[in-house]
Amino acid sequence: MKKILFMTQDGVIYTDGREVTITPFQFIIGRREYLLEGITKIRFLTIRAKRAAPIFTLLLGIVLTILGATYKLTPGTMNFNMGGFAPADAIIFYTGIILLILGMIWLLRIHDRYSVRITTAEGDKDAVISDNRDYIQQIIDALREAMVGYQNRDNIVG
């Protein structure tokens, strides 16, 4: 992946070689183009992962596992069979184990995401979203560098 962090002959300040390109006058993401003069604010934003559902699944798994294990240790507290298929304690216990494992995997797989948030006359926009914090920081640094250059262009020319 080619990254340019300086001004080239074609006026590119930054490119990731795929979608994001920053020139002295534009911020280009795929087919979307933003003029630097229209961007009033640039921010790094952390988008927090929603962890409530995996934590609930994990806790439900713990409760069911304990409930199933408790019944096994104190037989006679629940005296019914699930249609001859399996004892209730086994179903509760193994359902709890499955939910516990699924909750742990789910919790370990989710993570925060990061965004280049720009403010324009149309409002706030998450221009680029990625799981890679450094990638987003590179874009923000290059965009700020381009903005400084754009704002100082009259001083250089005139």
CA 92, distance to chain mean position in Å, is: 34
- What average pLDDT does the structure give for the chain? 83
Q: What are phi and psi of 74, to 5 degrees?
A: -125, 75
The structural domains of the chain, with segments of one domain joined by +, span 14-48+112-157, 52-109
> Which band of pLDDT confidence, cut at 50, 70 and 90, is reported for residue 10?
low
SS3 47: strand
Mean pLDDT of 47-75: 88
Q: What is the pLDDT of residue 70?
A: 81
Mean pLDDT of 115-139: 93
Q: What is the pLDDT of residue 157?
A: 47
Q: Is a pLDDT exceeding 70 seen at residue 3?
A: no
For the four alpha carbons of 95, 97, 99 and 101, in that order, the dihedral sign comes to negative
Q: 67-112, pLDDT tens digit by residue? A: 888 876 666 555 555 555 567 778 889 999 999 999 999 999 999 9
Q: What is the pLDDT of residue 1?
A: 44
Q: What is the pLDDT of residue 111?
A: 93
Helix residue spans in 15-128 (DSSP H): 52-73, 88-109
Architecture of domain 14-48+112-157 in CATH? Roll (2.30)
Q: List the Cα angle 39/43/47 in 5-degree steps.
A: 125
Q: How far apart are the C-alpha atoms of 41 and 81, rounded to whole Å?
A: 64
Closest CA to 111 of 54, 51, 62: 51
User: Residue 140, CB half-sphere, CA atoms under 13 Å: how many?
Assistant: 20
How many angstroms separate the most distant Cα atoms in the chain? 92
